[in-house]
A and B are shown apart, each in its own frame.
Chain A
Amino acid sequence: MQKNAYFTGLTVPLLLLLPQLAITVVFFYWPASQAVWQSFLLQDAFGTSTEFVWFENYQALFSDPGYLKAFINTAIFSSFVCVLSLSIALLFAVMADRQIRGAEVYKTLLIWPYAVAPAVAGVLWLFMFDPSLGMLARGLSTMGIAWNPRLNGNDAMLLVILAATWKQISYNFLFFLAGLQSIPKSVIEAAVIDGARPMRRFWTIIFPLLSPTTFFLLVVNIVYVFFDTFGIIDTITGGGPSGATETLVYKVFSDGKGGSNLGGSAAQSVILLIMVIGMTAVQFRFIERKVNY
């Protein structure tokens, strides 16, 4: 006897899928296809004259040294932010997972920065580290440390990395903590009885069992640094000094919005889209194999 219920015909499944498909098409595929179309056009700001130019916007991008620099900046910025925010969040989560007094308060406080909007986070860090206004910047200068993110590209990059990392730690912390709490206590207790020390327990049991969480966070963090950080960069450095903190997504924003160069900006976002699709595919293809579910 057939036990599984199933539908004959396509009407009902299609109807059930329709809301989800409609949302995906209207909010994802439609704008994305608009960007692709726009990237082949050369248009004035008001849209009164339009010319189809094939790949000229792309050619212009790759002959622009600033664009190559944005790639390098993005690589530096994203690897630092991902590694720092993941490792610091993991450290905090492991600490918070132990039996300590006031753990609830500690956990709640750590989650707060996630609620801060990127632009606001940028302003907060700017207030601390602006060479004229910032309290911490003044502290640095009294200690004799040269600090000038207005002109020094490394200082500016460090500042945006710190702000972007700080903002993402909370999110990673939450997921790591949940991941740690779902590891069966019995496995760890068995290891304790076998005489494994805390460090060894962490690397041979906890870390591998956390790998699904870590993998998920890696994907989410890469999407975060690639797309969600332009508010931080805009408020802290505006891409400066001399383009030292101009990342790919910030360039999309500043060329398109500030410069009204819609074609060039659309071409950049198409490239960015392809890059992130590629990176996510690579992650799922190769890194996911090492994940223990």
Chain B
Amino acid sequence: MTVKSRILMSVAAFALAGAAPAVAQTEIQWWHALTGANNDVVVKLAEDFNASQKDYKVVPAYKGSYPDALNAGIAAFRAGTAPHILQVFEVGTGTMMSAKGAVKPVFELMKDAGETFDPKAYLPAITGYYSTAKGDMLSMPFNSSSMVMWYNKDAFKKAGLNPEAPPKTWPEVFEAAKKLKASGFEKCGFSNAWATWANIEQFGAWHNVSLSTKANGLDGFDAVLNFNSPAFLKHWTNLVDLQKQGVYDYSGRTNGGEGRFTSGECPIFLTSSGFFGNVKANAKFDWANAPMPYYPDVQGAPQNSIIGGASLWVMGGKKPDEYKGVAKFFTFLSNVDRQVKLHTESGYLPITKAAYEKVKASGFYKDKPYLETPILELNNKEPTENSRGLRYGSLVQIRDIWSEELEAALNGQKTPKAALDAAVERGNQMLRQFERTASR
């Protein structure tokens, strides 16, 4: 055999080897934004799915932070190279929804693929955020969390507070924070991450006070913001006063300030229940979490909390066979045992009722009550128009505007009333511009 023919042979063999799986397997691209332990969860899920059947291969790819992944998806769609599955954070829901043709709604996907799919099997507090007003599910919930109040039990003991009875209402939190400050936590009695999620979005849902008309935007893009109402004004005024006294201390717009809890600087800290892994790994003190505080004089409070986190969107314009693979993958994700495992190992909320019931029956929450707190908040009451969730276009920018106004109130540039009014007015300008681009 000549050298030349040998080379040809090996090239042919290589080509065959390379081509064989491509013919048999359909690749499904999955772009996500998770790092560290959560990235491992994504990779493991894809591996397990790929091992469970032969027809489809899910290929996960990390695309940066949540906004980065969303932008990467948008840019890829414009260039005609969108992935099949794109993980989008809850803030991007309005943007994705309005992009008709760019996405394939999940309920449609499941119907077309002939997969058994019962939207009622999922926890309504979670799917409500990602469904139309009629209840059609648009995206597949993936990693969900809610906001809880983390507190430092050792600090409570030091300040003479009962660590087993954390404060339930905002006035109780203020009192506890003042005592904590007096006991040595000079800079920060309590604080929160995600400035607007805590002090606008969750606050509205938990107190059953509206953020805007049209069920907080879920019923249409013509929603008009109206949260410059007494309950919000009262809360913002309290925060501003306590910031001046050094009892409250602002910790920024994102979760960059969460380290202030684990380092022991802020003994009471409101942030995502997804903070669990970080607290477990880094806090060198005894800790616990409790539901978010509320104002007892606001009627109906506490209502229920809303979710944060991300869901999986299916992009439009793909082949039916590829959609079939995506549908199979979603069925695989919703499997009860898989959800139980995901929830107990990663701390994400379970997305199906069956998974939650199973974990509950196993007695898991007796040892780890902090993993149940966000579920209890979400299920506290039947969601109302004000607590099903929120859906606005350009919410990333609107959140920045809201943060700017909250910061202006906290640093004394504006009165709380002026800041709230400006947050509403400037937010409405953004909504009207978005409505124009979305309604055509």
Contacts and interface: CB of A to CB of B under 8 A. Distances in A.
B397 A242 contact: no
Given A132-B257, A259-B394, A45 B101 contact: no
Interface residues of A, number: 32
Contacts of B102: 46, 48
A31 B251 CA distance: 39
A4 to B, nearest CB: 51
Contacts of A46: 74, 77-78, 99, 101-102
A151 B99 contact: no
A131 B436 CA distance: 42
Interface stretch (A178-186, A213-221, A250-258): A250-258
A132 B266 CA distance: 10
A119 to B, nearest CB: 13
A48 B100 contact: yes
A242 B404 contact: yes
B407 A241 contact: yes
Interface in A219-260: 238-243, 254-255, 257-260
A150 B71 contact: no
Contacts of A259: 394, 396-397, 400
B104 to A, nearest CB: 13
A150 B100 contact: no
Contacts of B77: 46-47
Contacts of A133: 259
A11 interface: no
Contact of B250 (A141, A151, A257, A260): A151
B252 A150 contact: yes
A204 interface: no
B78 A240 contact: no
Interface string A137-166: 000010000000011110000000000000
Contacts, number: 88
Interface in B242-258: 243, 250-254, 257
Interface in A160-215: none
A176 B100 CA distance: 57
Interface residues of B, number: 40
Interface string B72-112: 00100110000000000000000100111110000000000
Contact of A260 (B95, B263, B436): B95
A43 B411 contact: no
A42 B436 contact: yes
A49 interface: yes
Nearest to B401: A66
A257 B437 contact: no
Interface string B198-240: 0000000000000000000000000000000000000000000
Interface residues of A: mostly helix, strand, loop or mixed? loop
A195 B252 CA distance: 60
Contact of A44 (B408, B410, B437): B437
B85 to A, nearest CB: 16
B397 A255 contact: yes
A44 B438 contact: yes
B163 interface: no
A283 interface: no
A241 B413 CA distance: 11
Interface string A113-134: 0000000000000000001110
B345 to A, nearest CB: 30
Contacts of B78: 46-47
Contacts of B71: 257, 260
Given A46-B74, A241-B407, A254 B438 contact: no
Nearest to A246: B404
A133 B251 CA distance: 12
Interface string B93-136: 00100111110000000000000000000000000000000000
Given A141-B187, A261-B397, 8 more contacts: A44-B438, A66-B404, A132-B259, A150-B251, A242-B408, A255-B397, A259-B396, A260-B396
Interface of B: 67, 71, 74, 77-78, 95, 98-102, 187, 243, 250-254, 257, 259-260, 263, 265, 394, 396-397, 400, 403-405, 407-408, 410-411, 413, 433, 436-438, 440
12 contacts: A42-B433, A42-B436, A48-B100, A60-B433, A150-B251, A152-B411, A153-B411, A239-B400, A254-B400, A257-B67, A259-B397, A259-B400
Which 7 A-B pairs give the minimum distances between C-beta atoms?
A: A259-B397, A242-B407, A241-B407, A242-B408, A44-B437, A46-B102, A46-B99
